[in-house]
Amino acid sequence: MLWLASADLAAAILEAGALGVISPYAALPEGVSPADNFRTQIGRLQQAKLRPIAVNIPLDLENSGLLIDRALQSEVDIVITAAGDPFVYTGLLNSAGIITVHVIASPRQALRAEAAGAAAVIASGFEAAAHIGFEAEPLMTLIPRVVDAVSIPVVAAGGICDGRGIAAALALGAEGVQLGTRFVAAVENPSHPGYKQALVEASRTVVTCSSLLPTRSLPTAFTNVLMNLEASGAVPEDIRQRLGFRRSRQSQLQGDAAQGELYAGAGVALIQDIPPANRIVEHLVQSYNNALGRLTPL
């Protein structure tokens, strides 16, 4: 959701009773810096007087320090960090009274995040969209392993698109869930209409860039190029050059699927429509309650 988690989407989710998260790069206009875009996005929620304000900052971004500074200046409530060492900024954020959550893919990473002072971890399974890392394992085994390893709350992520997935995650010990792909196919999401429709029509995903950084996307002409590069024995640097940094922006915001990846979680086949975000939240709650109703004591 790097290019997609906008203030408009976060506001709609917040008003529906769930937690919406802002990305510094969301709907980033050409020629505008991520830091300035970040300030603008946060300002929209502040003007609407919507709380809590949650932001996501991947630590592998070259400007992550500046973005952390913007979050501190803007007095956000929650910062979700990922793709980096939780010891770098967690203490600073905690000292400012900000709740810090770190995304992890293994019990070892969860323990490190807990030691760094994270208030919670997001356990992201192999089914997740976009970059899934080398340590990622299936969510059904990752959740209980992480829950057993740490004493802080665990949020489950990866392939969850409906209430049945939420019920399964909570049954395994998670205290909440994070959904991305389901909210790409939302009216308020700034993603290109072609991307949204591709999610509705999709029946599967593919994992590319296994030698560089495994990434889950919809199968497209671009992912075919990536898989052919890997099959031909291309070195990681060649694949990295082909990827670039903003190619996914071209595909996700501008609809040029031949030039970048359309990220999608493994549960994409469960997405059948493109409703407003509040309807998605309502359906998640309803389908969760329906799933619970089907359970009977053993």
| pLDDT tens by residue, 186-214 | 999 999 999 999 999 999 999 987 777 78
Amino acid identity at 250: Q
Residue 180: per-residue pLDDT: 96
Residue 176 sits at the vertex; the CA angle it makes with 175 and 182, to the nearest 5 degrees, is 160
pTM value is: 0.92
In whole angstroms, what is the distance from residue 268 CA to residue 271 CA? 6
Q: Note if the bond before 219 is cis, omega within 30 degrees.
A: no
pLDDT confidence band for 21 (50 / 70 / 90) = very high
At which residue do the structure tokens 């359906």 appear? 283
When the pLDDT of each residue in the chain is averaged and rounded to a whole number, the result is: 91
pLDDT confidence band for 286 (50 / 70 / 90) = very high
Q: 44-48, 71-75, 144-148, 239-243: lowest mean pLDDT where?
A: 239-243
Coarse DSSP helix, strand, coil percentages of the chain, rounded to the nearest 5 percent: 45, 15, 45
Residue 174: per-residue pLDDT: 98
Q: Is the pLDDT of residue 243 over 70?
A: no
Residue 114 CB partners (closer than 8 Å, separation 6+): 121, 150, 151, 152
CATH homologous superfamily for 7-189+278-291? Aldolase class I (3.20.20.70)
Residue 241: per-residue pLDDT: 66
The average pLDDT across 129-141 equals 88
Amino acid identity at 101: V
Residue 283 CA from chain centroid, whole number: 20
Residue 257: per-residue pLDDT: 75
| Domain residue ranges of the chain, discontinuous segments joined by + | 7-189+278-291, 193-254
In whole angstroms, what is the distance from residue 178 CA to residue 182 CA? 10
Residue 244: per-residue pLDDT: 59
143 with 171: CB under 8 angstroms?
Answer: no
Partners of residue 216 on adjacent β-strands: 130, 207
23-69 pLDDT tens trace: 999 988 888 899 999 999 999 999 999 999 999 999 988 899 999 99
Q: What are phi and psi of 273, to 5 degrees?
A: -155, 175
Query: H-helix or E-strand containing 81?
Result: strand 78-82
